[in-house]
Amino acid sequence: MMNSRTLERGAGVLLPITSLPSPYGIGTFGKAAYEFIDFLKSAGQKYWQVLPMGPTSYGDSPYQSFSAFAGNPYFIDLETLMEEGLLEKWDAEKYFWGDRESYVSYEDVYRNRFRVLRKALESSRHKETEEFETFREENAYWLEDYCLYMACKGQFENESWLLWDADIRFREKEALARYRELLKDEIEFWEFCQYHFFRQWKKLRAYAEEKGIQIIGDIPIYAALDSADVWSHPELFQLDEENLLPKFIAGVPPDAFSDTGQLWGNPLYDWDAMEKDDFVWWRRRIASSRGLYDALRIDHFIGITRYYAVPGGAKDSRTGAYREGPGTKLTDVINEEAGEMKIIAEDLGTVTPEVRKLLKDNGYPGMKVLAFGFDGDPANEHLPHNYRTSNCVAYGGTHDNETLTGLFCDKSDEVLTYLFELLGTRNRDDIVEGLFRQAYGSIADVVVFQAQDVLGLDNSARMNFPSTLGGNWKWRLKKGQLGQEEAGFLRFLVHVYNRY
The residues carrying an active-site annotation are 299, 346, 400
* Rounded CA separation 226/489 (Å): 44
Phi and psi at 306, nearest 5°, equal -155, 145
Inter-CA distances, 221 with 6, 267, 282, 334, 347, Å: 21, 11, 10, 12, 12
Residue 484, judged by CB atoms within 10 A of its CB (0-12, 13-18, 19+), counts as exposed
Inter-CA distances, 118 with 78, 114, 189, 391, Å: 12, 6, 7, 46
Per-residue three-class SS string for 308-351: EEEECCCCCHHHCEEEECCCHHHHHHHHHHHCCCEEEECCCCCC
Phi and psi at 482, nearest 5°, equal -90, 115
Residue 228 is inside which H or E element, if any? helix 228-232
Spatial contact of 384 and 442, defined as CB atoms under 8 Å apart: yes
Spatial contact of 143 and 194, defined as CB atoms under 8 Å apart: yes
* Rounded CA separation 124/79 (Å): 15
